[in-house]
Chains A and B, each alone.
Chain A
Amino acid sequence: GQNIDQPTEMTATEGAIVQINCTYQTSGFNGLFWYQQHAGEAPTFLSYNVLDGLEEKGRFSSFLSRSKGYSYLLLKELQMKDSASYLCAAMDSNYQLIWGAGTKLIIKP
């Protein structure tokens, strides 16, 4: 079957760095997405990886290893506004998205 695993909750300190991991199993693979979702709001797109390696976008970076079925989202210089859920989603061979349950990130001062 198809499956996405990511931690349920993580806590980090303002100004620090946090890495949110995601492992996936899909029938075929057409890329890995990360979305941010603040409480009570809609998910918003953060990043997309289809090739192995690191994609950097400001304070946020996303990494993909296709051979390991693994991705992570790296958040640097954490700010209180980064408190949110981070959703990992893999696109299968039919271009359908398989979603993880999300990682709730709590930032403490």
Chain B
Amino acid sequence: IAGITQAPTSQILAAGRRMTLRCTQDMRHNAMYWYRQDLGLGLRLIHYSNTAGTTGKGEVPDGYSVSRANTDDFPLTLASAVPSQTSVYFCASSGGDNSGANVLTFGAGSRLTVL
């Protein structure tokens, strides 16, 4: 089934630990995104990639890094987790043709708790 796979589904992590959230899509979409979703706030863009080999910073990039070695994979790394990074993380992809009809397909989300 075409779509986006995220892993892990949920994780509890000690502060200071390094964590990588994985995201893989099989739709050959050019653009990929990482969002965090917190109660009472809209989705906030962390990092994005318009095409393989390129990445960009979103609204809340501090403490996170990404890489885009190929079209399918877009991992998000927390180098040293802090409690404020407790959130639900969504990976998304789109055709990335920069048209207004740039519909996002989301993964199921990764719930991260940092203690």
Which A residues form the contact surface with B (CB < 8 A)? 4, 8, 30-31, 33, 35, 41-45, 48, 50, 87, 89, 91, 95-102
Contacts and interface: CB of A to CB of B under 8 A. Distances in A.
Main secondary structure of the interface of B (DSSP, over half): loop
A1 B86 CA distance: 26
Contact of B43 (A8, A48, A50, A99): A99
Interface string B71-115: 000000000000000000010000000101111111111000000
Interface of B: 40-45, 90, 98, 100-109
A43 B69 CA distance: 26
A43 B100 contact: no
Contacts of B90: 42-43
Given A4-B42, A101-B41, A44 B106 contact: yes
Contact of B100 (A31, A42, A87, A99): A31
Nearest to B41: A101
Given A43-B106, A44-B106, A45-B103, A95 B98 contact: yes
Contacts of B106: 42-44
